[in-house]
Structure 1
């Protein structure tokens, strides 16, 4: 079964672009063959008509033919599978509005999922349906679901190398996403650590500032205490100064008295000229 190799390309692709790549892959798959022993004549005829319309890209008309086949045989895995393909092609239309796109996608996925239920009777078709659903899940970035669908496709068809390749791509994408999450977590933790460091640094600076301020306040207080004289000390100093002045004054008074006495004594003992 041919499939495009560029279904999973790296780079920033839009959802619409990924969807188109997916549907191109589905289109290249041959329409499931039917077994005459398990189908009715009407069912086979309607499926063949639907396939012709599908190849002409008349997907809405093709769906009507497939629905007729499914009505004739409600257990037709081929009809369910092909209806799913046609709806997915409608969802990829260029002129489809978002509301109808979602409607077609939902219907296509439901019909494709119905085809996977026939894994016991038709494992190859069910494997193809799981593979396609895996591609859809991958494009929706639902990697865990895509991985499980690819694994189921391989269980039903171990030789499906495309499913094996896409499974590996999905696992690598999941590992990369986990690594990115871990990197983001570590980055956030480092940011928190840097914030804590800055906070501690600011706290230390504030603490040192407060300590220096307290030290300066203490020194200023001590200096003020030294400069501010104790009243008793001031009184003692004033008393000492006063005592010294009194002693000086007494010496001067005594010296004056002695001088007068000596002069008087000299007059008494001296000669008249």
Structure 2
């Protein structure tokens, strides 16, 4: 908003206020007095604002607003003062108030045009579009409002595209996080399974080791018994120079047999040496 436009706006609003004042003079003197005091305070605030006395101007604008709701210039000018100081939330409240109180279309157009500007500063592009549309309904010929409306639509489109891209990115990040979580769970499950298998293998190995150890113990006991048995057998076996009872028995039998053979030979010789007697005939 340039300085010339700002001054013209103040002048037009002031003229509108004078018009309302003239209509109300005869009908309600007290109302006319309140409107006049409000108008005077507005001019004082305008002067203070031009002298860079914002605090004094703000106070007089507020007093002017409290004196009469018919004075559209007071909230509108205070809104401009806030807007130029980039106090956009306060500016919004005063422009909204001016738009709601305004009766003339020109006053409504200016109030909603500036509301659109506030929304643009706050990057509330959808609200800015609606505000500029309302301003154009009251003054369709204003090219500045029409330009701002086109700009607001373009910014809204870009904002929606960026939001969509951000949503897609967020969804992708959520999906990636979900996939990673599931993968970690799978890995953890596999790791636990491997650990269980390892424990089972270890237990089986220890069991086999114990069984082997027991087997070695039994084998050792068996080996320890075997020398004892061999010792018994060795004890039973005769010494090299000593005949066993069976050998003695066999030897005696052999001697007897040999003695018997000798005896038989001797007997045979005796028979052979004797003369044979003649056989008697019958």
TM-score normalized with structure 2 length = 0.57
For 1:257, the equivalent position in structure 2 comes to 243
- Structure 1: give runs of 5+ residues left out of the alignment: 5-23, 93-100
- Counterpart-to-counterpart distance in 1, 2:77 and 2:182: 61
Residues 125 and 155 of structure 2 are in contact (CA less than 8 Å); yes or no, is this contact kept in structure 1? Answer: no
Give 3-state SS (helix, strand or coil) of 1:229's partner: helix
The residue that corresponds to 1:38 in the other structure is 19
In 2: Cα distance, 1:26 partner to 1:172 partner: 30
Question: Which of 1 and 2 has greater Rg?
Answer: 2
Q: Please give the TM-score of this superposition, normalised by the length of structure 1.
A: 0.58
* Offset of residue 238 of structure 1: 5.1
Q: Deviations over 1:153-207 (max 9, x none)?
A: 3444455221331243145325424532542353244234324423432342232
Q: Are 2:171 and 1:153 equivalent residues in the alignment?
A: no
Give the corresponding residue for 2:118. 136
CA RMSD of aligned residues (A): 4.9
**Hey, what does 1:20 align to over in structure 2?**
none
Aligned equivalents of 2:111, 2:168: Cα separation in 1: 34
Structure 2 partner of 1:86: 81
Per the alignment, do residues 26 and 50 of structure 1 end up closer, same or farther by CA in structure 2, a change over 3 Å counting? Answer: farther
Q: Residues 1-150 of structure 1 correspond to what in structure 2 (within 5 A)?
A: 3=1, 27=6, 30-31=9-10, 33=12, 34-35=15-16, 38-40=19-21, 53=47, 56=50, 58=52, 60=54, 74-89=69-84, 91-92=85-86, 106=90, 108-118=91-101, 121-142=103-124, 145-150=127-132
Q: Gaps spanning 5+ residues in structure 2: where? A: 23-34, 260-282
Q: Name the CA shift for 1:68/1:242 in 2 (closer, same or farther; >3 Å).
A: closer
Match of 1:211 in 2: 197
1:165 aligns with 2:147: no
Distance 2:185 2:231 in 1: 67
Report the number of matched residues: 232
